[in-house]
Each structure stands twice: as structure tokens, then as C-alpha cells.
Structure 1
Amino acid sequence: MKMKCVVIVDPELPIGLVANTASILGCSLGKAHPEINGEDTFDKNDQFYPGIVNIPIPILKAASNKINEIHRQANQYEGIEVISFVDVAQRVNNYEEYKAKLKQSTDADLNFLGICLYGSEKKVNHFSGSLPMLR
């Protein structure tokens, strides 16, 4: 089965928050699926380069309400993983506070700044195929 990954971000966010959202989702994906990272390598001068992902990860855009809808629907599908980044993370000072706030929230209480979908190409395309690239 061919696997696919996309990141979907709200383009109305400030550019710094767009970049932060995409990078955090990428880090979370790498933690959950280290197999997508290539091997470490070196250049001609023997400078070290850690492995980067060996699959494309397009950054797509969707309005916040569409991201929330995709999150809700995709979480009900078998065989697709949804990694989320929510506004709670922007309103707290440390990870313990973040965890505590999440424990007090349901997904209906949260605003999703971005999500990462990882799974079979067919399933990921079902949710993201009509979304434009973030430019």
C-alpha cells in the first residue's frame, strides 16, 4: 500500500504561526513514524547531515472550520492517522500546562490550527485531494 502524508494549515494565521504549526506537525509525525526518515549522510567535506524525510509532505491550506471538519471526519476512518496542533498550545507557558488544558477539553472545544494526515494514499486524498497548496 502506498502511503501519503499532507499537512493542512489555516492560511489566515500569521506567517510565523503557519511556519510553527507546520514544523511542529512535522516533528510529531517524525516521532510517530521514524521510518519515514532517511539515513544520516555526509557531504564531500565529511560534514554531517541528519536524515530527512524520504516522502513528500505537501503543505496545503484550508480555513479553520474546514480543518476542524477534516479532523473530525478523518479520526473516524480506520487506517488514517491524524496529528493535530491546536490553539491551546499557543496560550500556555509550558508542556505541563498544555497537557492539563487538553485534559479539560474535547475536540469540539478546540480550534485546530493545522493537522497532518498520514495513511494510505487513497484515504489521504479523500480528505485533501481538493485542497490547494499553501503559497
Structure 2
Amino acid sequence: MTDDTRIAIIVNPTLPLGLLANTAGAISIGLGARVPALAARRLTDSQGRTIDISSSLPVPILQAQAETIRSLMLKAMEQIQNRAVVPFPAFARSLHDYRDYEAAFPDRDLAEEEIDGLGLAGPSKWIKSLTGSLKLLR
């Protein structure tokens, strides 16, 4: 990633608050793992207390219906080089062990799945082209 990197997280605003928070949190972890430069830093205060930073960039949480999120995901996946695309398919909620999700995933078609949320990181122009018409989650 470069100095022109931007982040966006898009969630379905119809999700109950707890699921919405879980979706945004899980996507954030995925983005951080895919692009460690977003947060792999530490800062020390004047008293010597060191913390791990949360993010080196703003993280807007945008809203869109599941159908729109799926469409954005599919469009984003067309240009995946030097970009991060982290979807949260709704079926993942019914699986409480990651190994079950990993085993079920190859039998799924993301183009047919309901997508509760999507995280994107990449060039600013690319992010804006995908999310420019979306509203902030309120």
C-alpha cells in the first residue's frame, strides 16, 4: 500500500446493533491482517506507556443494503492486485468455528450469498469509485 491508501467498511444497516458491530470488527481484523501497515505500529506517551495503535488511517463505516454490498464486492474483486477485499458473508454467522467456515467456503458462490459487510483498502481513487455514493452509517 502507499500514501494514497484509503479504507472503507460497508455494512448492512438493517442488521441488529450487536451483529453490525461484530461485522465491522471482524472485517477490521481482516483488513489489518491483509495490510499490516494500517496498524502495525506502537506509540509511547510522555510517561513511557506504550500502546498498539488502532489505525493509521480514518476508517469510515458506510451503509448499503446486502444486494449493493455483494455487487460492490464482485466489482472490487475484478481489480484485487495491491488491494484488500474482506467480505463478511451472512452464512458465516451460523458457523461458530473458523475451521467449519473454511471447510464450507469452497462449496459457496459469493455471487449468490448475502453479504453483511465488506472491507476495502487500496488506492484512494479505487475506493472512491466503489463507495463514493454511499452514506455514512448513522
Superposition RMSD in Å? 1.6
Of the structure 1 ranges 121-130 and 89-98, higher mean CA displacement relative to structure 2 is found in 89-98
2:19 aligns with 17
Residue 4 of structure 1 aligns with an amino acid whose one-letter code is R
User: In the alignment, is residue 130 of structure 1 matched against residue 136 of structure 2?
Assistant: no
Deviation readout 1:84-110 (Å, 9 max, x if unpaired): 111122001211111111121111232
Q: Retained in 2: the 8 A contact 1:75–1:81?
A: no
Q: Retained in 2: the 8 A contact 1:88–1:102?
A: no
1:110 aligns with 113
Q: Determine helix, strand or coil for the equivalent of 1:75.
A: helix
70, 78, 91: which one aligns with 2:94: 91
Cα 1:78–1:108, aligned 2, differ >3 Å: closer, same or farther?
closer
Matches of 1:52 and 1:81, distance apart in 2: 18
Cα 1:78–1:98, aligned 2, differ >3 Å: closer, same or farther?
closer
TM-score, L = length of structure 1? 0.91
1:63 aligns with 65
Deviation at 1:83, TM superposition (A): 0.8
Deviation at 1:44, TM superposition (A): 4.3
Matches of 2:42 and 2:8, distance apart in 1: 23
Residue 43 of structure 2 aligns with an amino acid whose one-letter code is T
Gaps of 5+ in 2: none
Cα 1:109–1:121, aligned 2, differ >3 Å: closer, same or farther?
same
Gaps of 5+ in 1: none
TM-score, L = length of structure 2? 0.89
Matches of 2:106 and 2:86, distance apart in 1: 17
1:4 aligns with 6
Residue 119 of structure 1 aligns with an amino acid whose one-letter code is G
Matches of 1:42 and 1:120, distance apart in 2: 29
Deviation at 1:38, TM superposition (A): 5.4
